[in-house]
Structure 1
């Protein structure tokens, strides 16, 4: 789990959710899960949780990608610390976090992606990236 510099935004993997104490100790109060096959982690009631089953293959409904990015953006606009996580924390979580950041900062997805990947490793699926661009109207 790593924080995007200067923002109340974290990117992580499904394993991060199995240690809720670490999530809470970081000050995170909301979680956006974007893994399509991970089991539900047992999280405390005081964490707000959204789940969007996305795939890396580029076969996601545009409305679902947009809703995931808009959810991240809503948390950021409200100043609510948010963790976006997927299976490995390298593709879907990074792309959706960038989508939310692009909406908030009114910048191209590629610029937001650079900000997000500056916090650690990433391996965003090209198909997912193109889908997110279309979902955001770029």
Structure 2
């Protein structure tokens, strides 16, 4: 799990989401689970859990993609400590976080994604990248 905004925003993978003790110890209050291929997680009742299943390609439903971006942006704005996770934490999670940060900061999606990938391995699927670019240009 890597910190994006101290005490506010993390990017992780499936293993991180399943480590409920660590999630609670970090004070994470919301989990955005983007991993279509992974089973849902059983958490304590006081954690916000949003399962918005995405794939690393172009076949995502636009409403799910938009909901993921808007939900993460809203949680950032409201300062709710949030973990955004997908299977490996290298494609869907950084892409959605970059899109949300671009909305919150009124910056360019590509710039946000490059900054996220600067010191951490990332491998955003081209189809997902294109769909997010298109979605953000419409707004």
Same fold, judged at TM 0.5 (above): yes
Runs of 4 or more above 3 Å deviation: none
Structure 1 contact 2–119 (Cα < 8 Å) conserved: no
Mapped partners of 1:118, 1:12: distance in 2 = 16
1:131 alignment counterpart = 131
Indicate the structure with greater strand content: 2
Q: How many residues align?
A: 138
The one-character-per-residue Cα deviations of 1:63-108 (angstroms, maximum 9, x if unpaired) are 2211100000000000111100001111001101111111101111
1:95 alignment counterpart = 95
2:67 alignment counterpart = 67
Flag structure 1 segments of 5+ consecutive residues without an equivalent: none
Flag structure 2 segments of 5+ consecutive residues without an equivalent: none
The higher relative CO (CA closer than 8 Å, separation ≥ 6) is in: 1
Structure 1 contact 57–125 (Cα < 8 Å) conserved: yes
Structure 1 contact 63–135 (Cα < 8 Å) conserved: no
The one-character-per-residue Cα deviations of 1:3-47 (angstroms, maximum 9, x if unpaired) are 114572100001111111111111211000111111011111111
Mapped partners of 1:42, 1:82: distance in 2 = 17
Structure 2 contact 40–51 (Cα < 8 Å) conserved: no
1:15 alignment counterpart = 15
2:28 alignment counterpart = 28
- Note the 1:29-68 alignment, pairs <5 A: 29-68=29-68
Mapped partners of 1:82, 1:5: distance in 2 = 10
Instruction: Please give the TM-score of this superposition, normalised by the length of structure 1.
Output: 0.93
Instruction: Please give the TM-score of this superposition, normalised by the length of structure 2.
Output: 0.92
Structure 1 contact 3–119 (Cα < 8 Å) conserved: no
